[in-house]
Amino acid sequence: MNLNIITGIIFLILAPLIGGLIAGADRIVTARMQGRVGPPLLQPFYDVSKLFEKETMVVTTTQYVYVVAYIVFIAFTGALFFSGGDILLVVFALTLAHVFLIMGAYASRSPYSVIGAERELIMLMAFEPAIILCAAGMYLVSKSFFVRDIISYNGAIILLIPGLFFAFLYVFTMKLRKSPFDISTSHHAHQELIKGLTTDFSGSVLGITEIAHWYETVFLLGFIYLFFAFNPVIGIIALIVIYLLEIYIDNVSARVRWSFALKSAWIITAVLGIVNIGILFFRWW
């Protein structure tokens, strides 16, 4: 069997396990920062297993279909990425996955869910330009849109596209649903929209959503690793430092308005991303 296919299958199997462990470690580190002991490392798995044991109440059957489509495309996104596929197709699949999640929230017609869905659309608009420009920048450096070629590039990509890297880090907080950008939904109880996007998700539907988030977390960390792929040790250290930084930001930041989140993401992406790509054009000219 082709090695790329094997790595894709490994992602499908191990990503939920790794993502759940990351979520557990996240809770422990957050608790220690707040002076608490925190839950056990495996608490996220216990929570999800309880969700699948509960009765699933759905307002409309299409909601379940949308959520299943969401996790399918999230899993496909990560599998395609880790199998070395086309990074543009990866970006499009990720976007489609979140469109299904938003449609699932809209299906309930609850005011909290609808507002959460609208805010998720805004976050999608804020995130997409950064990841698309990152893909374009990696292409300019490696001369390929395929992840397997980007990761095998003989050089430190981070040194050639630092602006794109910091632009992606800024919107990375949005995808992790952490403060100050936990606008559409949050993993914490202090969300002013109750649970926003996932207010009317329950039972197995909510459990599927949590597992999909684990898949996405592993994929996003893999995307960041591309910047440091020239040295695996440095790459792993960078991922740990970056995630710890995200937890710290989550604990010290207050939630911002959606308008600030969108404008700031676009401004930072435009300034850092477009300038960085412009420099690359002149460099290769």
pLDDT at 15 over 80: yes
Q: Cβ distance 258 to 119 under 8 Å?
A: yes
Place of tokens 């309930």: 108
Does residue 97 have a pLDDT over 90? Answer: yes
Q: Nearest Cα to 183, choosing from 103, 265, 241? A: 265
pTM of the model: 0.93
Q: Which residues pair with 86 in a beta bridge?
A: 146
Residue 274 pLDDT level (bands cut at 50, 70, 90): confident
Q: pLDDT at residue 189 above 60?
A: no
Taking the CB of residue 36, how many other CB atoms lie within 10 A of it?
11
For residue 107, pLDDT beyond 90: no
pLDDT digits (tens, 9 = 90+) for 118-132: 899 999 999 999 999
**Total domain count for the chain?**
1
Collapsing DSSP to helix, strand or coil, 94 comes out as helix
Q: What is the pLDDT of residues 213-236, one digit of tens each?
A: 999 999 999 999 999 999 999 999
Domain span at 257? 3-284
Q: What is the mean pLDDT of residues 167-193?
A: 80
- Residues 191, 178: contact at Cβ < 8 Å? no
